Chain A
Amino acid sequence: MEKSGLEGKVVYRHSVVARLSHWLWALALLVLVMSGLQIFNAAPYLDASDKNNPTKRVFAIAGGMPPGETRAVGMVYILGHTFNTTGVLGYTDDGQGGRSVRAFPGWLTLPSYQDLAGGRVWHLFFGWVLILALVAYGIQLIVRKGWRDLVMRPEDFRNLLPMQLYYLRLRKDPPPHGTYNPLQKLTYNIVLFVMMPLIVITGLALSPGMDAIANPLTSILGGRQFARLWHFLLMALFIGYFATHIVLVFATGAWNNIKSMVTGYYHLGKHDGVGP
């Protein structure tokens, strides 16, 4: 790919559907995580099993008043290890200005106070927003042939390590690439076409109606509670992706990046390419 000749050129990079779905995903991710934590709070434990089985417990948040104590405590249990998290998790912000026994704090849940029904209506609605935005994005990828810029080619696999070295400042220049560098391509493919379908599937596996239709689905995931664990782990991956995404948006020219995701137009930099 050309690299020097394109510097300073302005290209139309993101279609209106791509931009709209991007911001819908951002909103959906925020709402789904916060309402999901609200839902989690109703049963703040995760078992690697079908029905609940405390001997298969992987993660739990608990709070209460230990015998003989005068102050409530909050605890987190992960794979056999227990941590005191009083004030942050387990015994924390109740979303109404006080503190109570509660897994995730009020400032992280939607709504802030304990309300499973409220959390569920947000969650089920924005699950649809996520899915429909993915469908719309997928259609525009095909129609505008944008998939060609995203698909991983043999040289992309070879260039993953050099690209990572460049990000780590162990290499002066990135390997030549098109619209997206190999790490971007890999990440976007995993997030869009692996993590998004999986988080929807693991969520649906919790549904007794769905379980009756697609019985093997819940079983493949290890059962209903195990599906809940997968769903939670995928959320953690999404948060990890989001954090990385934000860091890189700012590290690679925040204004140009954000502007291009609003207007569609992107100013090509020194190493930027166009095309596959």
Chain B
Amino acid sequence: MKRRLFVASSLSAVGLTGCGVGNALTQNQIVHNILSSVDVLNHGLIGTRGMAKEYTDADVDRNFRLNGFDTPSSARYIGYVKDKFAAYRLVVDGMVDNKQAFTVAQLRAMPLLTQITRHDCVEGWSAIGKWRGVRVADVLAIAKPQQGARYVVFHCMDVDDQGTPYYESLDLHQAAHPQTILALDLNDAPLDADHGAPVRMKIPTQLGYKSAKWVDHIEVVSTFQHVFSGKGGYWEDAGYNWYAGI
């Protein structure tokens, strides 16, 4: 009995030590940087090539799954919702020649692209939605990124429990992909508040966390090191990969 107890407690001690080592290594910044270094390989080899599969109306999830932060509850956002986003502007600035402030009506007057694509969450689940919106490429063509511009940062109106805003970033190549859109409609209706109204990102070639909701400011930059914690996105700042194609 004693012997069995001894064996059992030694085994659990080894197990606990193993867990402790694994946890300590996970939290170690140097180890994290080494492990994350394969991001460069994955980005280089997979990148943003080809086209995400397009589905049919029959495949669409009518109640598209909600995930992520709560719908913004700021006075500004509630005001936007109240007047049907008449006061909302999508600001495009940073390293561009022509700074912009689009109204929703102006965005809707641009060529609209419809895509029925699968939304792949980093958590592992997938849902299919019918998205309609403006190509990011078309918006950037109007704003004209300057020489040296490399990334597009999408600032959002939603915040976490601490008040830190959501944001995301793409490089210009990913932003120029024909399926990378600023969605205005989901499943044949204007986006509702919970799904990111009035404008959200939809990039089917990357995981769902890149498809930021409630976007109101697009900033063209040469580097995103100065933006929040500098990793290129809210979840990237929390340890997720910047390259979200895998």
Chain A contacts to B: CB under 8 angstroms: 34, 39-40, 42-43, 50-52, 95, 106-107, 110-113, 115-118, 120-122, 124-125, 127-128, 204, 206-215, 218-219, 224-225, 228
Q: Check A43/B121 contact, CB under 8 A, given A52-B126, A110-B22, A208-B206.
A: yes
How far does the alpha carbon of A106 sit from the alpha carbon of B49 in the complex, in Å?
37
In the complex, what's the smallest C-beta–C-beta distance from A124 to chain B, in angstroms? 5
29 A-B pairs within 8 Å (CB atoms) are namely: A40-B124, A42-B123, A42-B124, A43-B124, A43-B125, A95-B19, A95-B23, A111-B19, A111-B22, A111-B26, A112-B19, A112-B23, A117-B235, A117-B238, A118-B27, A120-B241, A121-B239, A125-B34, A128-B41, A207-B46, A208-B52, A209-B42, A211-B53, A211-B120, A212-B51, A212-B53, A215-B51, A215-B53, A218-B53
Which secondary structure dominates chain A's binding surface? helix
A50 touches B126 (CB 8 A): yes
In the complex, what's the smallest C-beta–C-beta distance from A113 to chain B, in angstroms? 7
How far does the alpha carbon of A39 sit from the alpha carbon of B241 in the complex, in Å?
14
Q: Which of B1-58 contact A (CB under 8 A)?
A: 15-16, 19, 22-23, 26-27, 32, 34-39, 41-42, 46-53
B126 touches A121 (CB 8 A): no
Q: Which residues of B contact A50 (CB under 8 A)?
A: 118, 126
Closest B residue to A121 by beta carbon equals: B35
Nearest 6 Cβ contacts at the A-B interface: A209-B245, A43-B124, A117-B239, A42-B123, A207-B246, A212-B50
Q: Which of B206-246 contact A (CB under 8 A)?
A: 206-207, 235, 238-241, 245-246
Q: Which residues of B contact A219 (CB under 8 A)?
A: 53
Q: Which residues of B contact A122 (CB under 8 A)?
A: 26, 35
Q: Which residues of A contact B50 (CB under 8 A)?
A: 212-215
How far does the alpha carbon of A127 sit from the alpha carbon of B39 in the complex, in Å?
12
Residue B113 CB within 8 A of the other chain = no
How far does the alpha carbon of A124 sit from the alpha carbon of B15 in the complex, in Å?
24
Q: Which residues of A contact B123 (CB under 8 A)?
A: 42-43, 116
B19 touches A208 (CB 8 A): no
